[in-house]
Amino acid sequence: MLRRIGALLVWLLILVLLLPVVVPPFLDRIYYRGPVSAHFDGAHFHNPDGDLQRQISAGTFARFWAMKRGPWPDHVALTPVTVPPRIDGGAMRATWIGHSTVLVQTQGLNILTDPIWAERAGPFGLFGPQRVRAPAIRLEDLPKIDLILVSHNHYDHMDLATLKRLWDRDKPVIVTSLGNDTVMRGAGIESVARDWGGRVALRPGIDVIVERVHHWGSRWGTDRNRALWSGFTVTLPGGNLFFAGDTGYGDGSWPVEAARDGPYRFAILPIGAFEPREMMGPSHVGPVESVEIFRRMGAAYAVGVHWGTFRLSAEAFDDPPRLVAATAAKYGLGDRFVTLAPGRSWSVPASSQPRLGSSPH
């Protein structure tokens, strides 16, 4: 018996020693094959303005978990809402569903950004941060979706279970950046992938342009940057829509580039998961940087997202909207850059001039 136990322990030790060698290659994936470019070396993508993502050490993680973090609720009660089936013509209605998921209705199109209805943002729906409030619209109550924008392959932005349900139900046009189509195809979801600057035509005068932002991608850790990350412009009569996905500020050049595809009537910009800056700064903008992006793009109106749904960082639950309001006030933006309560719809003004009035918090 002791001999068997000893042999078992030896094999367990061998397995533990082999895991660092065997598991990473197994978890690596090749999502895209194509020519070398200014942001693709033939195997991995990178940010042309510099990959500022620091190597995060065990000590950094230890300091993160030991540091005093702002308060977050365990659960926020929410009553689901419904929305109209369509909004025709030049009117534009934006409804924040949660995290980076926004339903934009205009020109008879229903556009959905980075849809996630999962309870956890992580592998297999079992791991990762748990949502503190439910989606503001039940998935079965969503109107028929025509266009889905998927910015990158992190679990809180590419929720395959949600995308599969929407694909099976509506067969929408799903636009993403290079390599992410491979991930979705593996789950039975068809999508259209383009490089930065690529276009997908929807209707005459309405195109999707894949835009450069500053971020990174991974599903399993060792597949880091095998697929590209992006924002999107949707060209529309009366002013375009911009969705940033998830992004850091980088050197500040990408919003200036995106501005060339304006003018923008409405921008959807991330404002949360920004503390501590040592960890989050290279890949996540905070409220102050997001307002600066808004100003550099010359957008007429914007809503801040990527906050208050999954706890991904150290700032307090309500820090992002509070700091956005303070920064917007500092620059005299009025209600041009706002945050919304989940389920709250905003009729985005058609005019490019600031609209005075109460902010739709």
The answer to whether 266 touches 241, Cβ cutoff 8 Å, is yes
Q: What is the pLDDT of residue 353?
A: 44
Domain count, the chain: 1
Residue 32 lies in a domain: no
Phi, psi at 94, each rounded to 5°: -115, 130
Is 222's pLDDT higher than 80? yes
Tens-place pLDDT, residues 263-318: 999 999 999 999 999 899 999 999 999 999 999 999 999 999 999 999 999 999 99
Vertex 186, ends 180 and 187: CA angle to 5°? 100
Tell whether 50 is covered by a domain: no
In which domain, by residue range, is 170 found? 92-347
Coil/strand/helix, residue 263: coil
Q: 165-220: per-residue pLDDT in tens?
A: 999 999 999 999 999 999 999 999 999 999 999 999 999 999 999 999 999 999 99
How high is the pLDDT of residue 44?
97
Peptide bond into 276 cis (omega under 30): yes
* Dihedral, 273, 198, 267, 145 alpha carbons, nearest 10: -90
CATH number, domain at 222? 3.60.15.10
* Beta strands across the sheet bearing 199-203: 199-203, 206-211, 231-234, 240-243, 264-270, 301-305, 337-338
- 303 in Cβ contact with 102 (< 8 Å): yes
Residue 212 covered by a domain: yes
Residue position matching structure tokens 């136990």: 5
Q: What SS3 class is residue 201? A: strand
> pLDDT tens-digit profile of 31-54?
999 999 999 999 999 999 987 554
CA separation, residue 13 to residues 16, 24, 72, 235 (Å): 5, 18, 40, 58
Predicted TM-score (pTM) of this structure = 0.89
Query: How far apart (Å, rounded) are the C-alpha atoms in residues 25 and 33?
Result: 18
**Does 8 map to a domain?**
no
Instruction: Answer yes or no: is pLDDT of 1 > 80.
Output: no
Do the domain assignments include residue 54?
A: no
- Look at residue 192 and tell me if it is in a domain: yes
Is position 185 within any domain? yes
**Count of alpha carbons within 13 angstroms of residue 253, beta-carbon side:** 6
Q: What is the pLDDT of residue 69?
A: 80
* β-sheet bridge partners, residue 130: 120
**Percent of the chain scoring above 90 in pLDDT:** 81
What's the chain's average pLDDT?
Answer: 89
Q: Is residue 11 part of a domain?
A: no
Identify the weakest region by mean pLDDT among 127-136, 264-273, 300-309, 351-360. Answer: 351-360
Count the neighbouring beta carbons within 10 Å of the beta carbon of residue 130: 14
DSSP labels, 229-243: --EEEE--TTSEEEE
